[in-house]
Amino acid sequence: MASHIVGYPRMGPKRELKFALESFWDKKTSAEDLQKVAADLRSSIWKQMSDAGIKYIPSNTFSYYDQVLDATSMLGAVPPRYGWNGGEIGFDTYFSMARGNASVPAMEMTKWFDTNYHFIVPELGPDVNFSYASHKAVDEYKEAKALGVNTVPVLIGPVSYLLLSKPAKGVEKTFSLLSLLPKILPIYKEVISELKAAGASWIQFDEPTLVLDLDSHKLQAFTAAYDDLESTLSGLNVLIETYFADLTAEAYKTLIGLKGVTAYGLDLVRGAQTLDLVKSNFPKGKYLFAGVVDGRNIWANDLAASFSTLKELEAVVGKENLVVSTSCSLLHTAVDLVNETKLDDEIKSWLAFAAQKVVEVNALAKALAGQKDEAFFSANAAAQASRKSSPRVTNEAVQKAAAALKGSDHRRATNVSARLDAQQKKLNLPILPTTTIGSFPQTLELRRVRREFKANKISEDDYIKAIKEEIKKVVDLQEELDIDVLVHGEPEVSVPSHRNDMVEYFGEQLSGFAFTVNGWVQSYGSRCVKPPIIYGDVSRPKPMTVFWSSTAQSMTARPMKGMLTGPVTILNWSFVRNDQPRFETCYQIALAIKDEVEDLEKAGINVIQIDEAALREGLPLRKSEHAFYLKWAVHSFRITNCGVQDTTQIHTHMCYSNFNDIIHSIIDMDADVITIENSRSDEKLLSVFREGVKYGAGIGPGVYDIHSPRIPSTEEIADRINKMLAVLETNILWVNPDCGLKTRKYAEVKPALNNMVAAAKLLRTQLASAK
């Protein structure tokens, strides 16, 4: 019985790739240094899987930034602004597309399906001259082969690549991206031919868009693509891999009808209903790569249950044609539980990171082959039983409080227009008020202080003193820049990464959460996050942010935002317990945040931001499931602030997703002000307002991209604000960056914010003179 891994984490067990990338970007190390770190990581991954007994080991799942960007490079689909003149794409062009450079912005970045991973969105049009411009897939196959490992090269499938793309700037939005299929397939044929010549016997095409709601035209594109590729694929075993959800009956019929395809990879964790399709109709002689080991969560597999499922499938597809696999790439989970030295033994026994999941896959494959490791299965069963019965998991008071939420929609008593009037009387803000999203740069000195405090090298008093000094610097800087609504900069938040740092910060202070030391997961590029683990019922033992927020407010007469992370984002950016519905866990978190909001208000904080950056990413991939998710997600947000006074202004923040399709749910959240990503997605958000959606609350579409080191000019920002004023009322528009500033340097932040404030003042003057 064979085993397969869809893909594997790239960063390394101690984030080796992250540090190598950042050192290279800072020009501290050479391209050769970066390439050596990458080669060592790939070699280690292939050896680990080979040693574990995995038969079908993937290659070309490693990436210096993103696998979709790798496909864009392979196809030579470089937007003209990067000045690429052909030939093999090098690091300069590759990283300019990913991160931008001093003269041009980066390509758009958005969430990969409903995960917290981000991909770089291809920009395509009828005039793109595709060419074979990156030989990475072939090079990595050869590299593994030279190490004695015959891998399965993995490519983003041609149809999914196009469906995940967008029309380039200047191209009609109605342009059919699938019309480019005849232009990209010749490149795929070149790659396939080179892989065959190099000795590959299998090839894996990831076609995850097959799980989406696709019309017949889009499904037909899959048929057309693989019809065209059939002769080139002759002599290869071809695996089409899908993941993240069930296939519709129509998509399944399309999949099993594709020509030249040997095997089908199905997610049987998030796509459990696909089992029925397999049982009712599976093509004779084909392989089923059964994704029974969860690639997106960190819970140990229930081996007995998976074994039972596999035995059912074995009766359908045949013993020799069943391959045990992960549900998707292990990119979305942490690397190795061995590196966790601070988790207690009980919780640790409930978990499996990527390295452990590789072992689980092989253990299931061996068991099906009659070589069951009884001791391994027995230990797994004991851990499953321990988790079900542990008193740490259940809190009856929390469950009772969450159950009592049913029957109310938890709306604030007054409509948003009246609330904004009451808030303006209290806050007295100018038109186009300026603010930032929350965090400020994390200096080396600040990181040193936090590190020494955690290591007990400095006292709590010394730590508090140092954090207060940092807050004072941030407050003084904002006053010097003349920003209207201030933030304290989040210096007490200890993880220098993406917005998930706040999720960890709150999780550390809530019951029902556990934390890792090295449980890092790639979010985008070199950015890694360390999701908390929600293992039990959630409650707030004591206030979490009140001390720091009130300390910061005491330093200024200007409004100081209290900074919280919303329940849906905490849920979606954590590894969530899988023993109860997600919405039940979310309601528990909402009640904990509600307690914190009301304590902040009592402490004199008049503006409270409750980030829901990840609300959109949790949207199910199937439209039929949207309404239920949005109902409980939006309800959870309203629970957090339903008890505050009209004069308390509730902000929320969202970033790096396509929000246009849920704009009515965003309105239904009933926040007073929403700040939202806008600049990197080519102001896509504004189109929804051009199409007539009325938004009466405050709104701050981001005026510049904080994920790029590029500093926008005053004129550029003013131009963006003018575009917003064309579709939004002056009295509701806010001016702010796209996201928090933690990942940037002060040398970038100060001039960018200075230009942002200058642009707001310029527009205020122009608006006043136009009256």
Residues contributing to the annotated binding site for Zn(2+):
653, 655, 664, 668, 677, 739
Structure-token pair, residue 246? 């069930």
Which residues, 6 or more positions from 344, have their beta carbon under 8 angstroms from its beta carbon?
Answer: none
Structure-token pair, residue 42? 């790939």
Q: What is the DSSP string of 129-165?
A: -------HHHHHHHHHHHTT---EEEEE-HHHHHHT-
How far from 284 is each of 318, 320, 321, 520, 531, CA to CA, in Å? 9, 12, 9, 41, 42
* Total residues found in the chain within this entry: 771
Q: CA 110, CA 118: separation in Å to the nearest integer?
A: 5
| Residue 197: count of CB within 10 angstroms of its CB | 9
Closest among 507, 494, 445, 434 to 473, alpha carbons compared: 445
Q: Is the four-CA dihedral 435, 441, 442, 443 of positive or negative sign?
A: negative
Q: Is the four-CA dihedral 476, 480, 484, 490 of positive or negative sign?
A: negative
Q: CA 388, CA 579: separation in Å to the nearest integer?
A: 8
CA atoms within 13 A on the CB side of 657: 24
Q: CA 28, CA 73: separation in Å to the nearest integer?
A: 25
Q: Which of 118, 332, 651, 707 is catalytic?
A: 707
Q: CA 647, CA 644: separation in Å to the nearest integer?
A: 8
Catalytic status, residue 635 = no
Dihedral angle computed from the Cα positions of residues 293, 299, 303 and 305, in that order, rounded to the nearest 10 degrees: -90
Structure-token pair, residue 387? 């988790």
| Residue 580: count of CB within 10 angstroms of its CB | 13
Q: Taking each helix axis from N to C terminus, what angle separates 546-553 and 460-481, rounded to the nearest 10 degrees?
A: 50
C-alpha angle 323/325/328, rounded to 5°? 145
CA atoms within 13 A on the CB side of 655: 27
The phi, psi pair for 649, rounded to 5°, reads -90, 120
Give the active site residues: 707
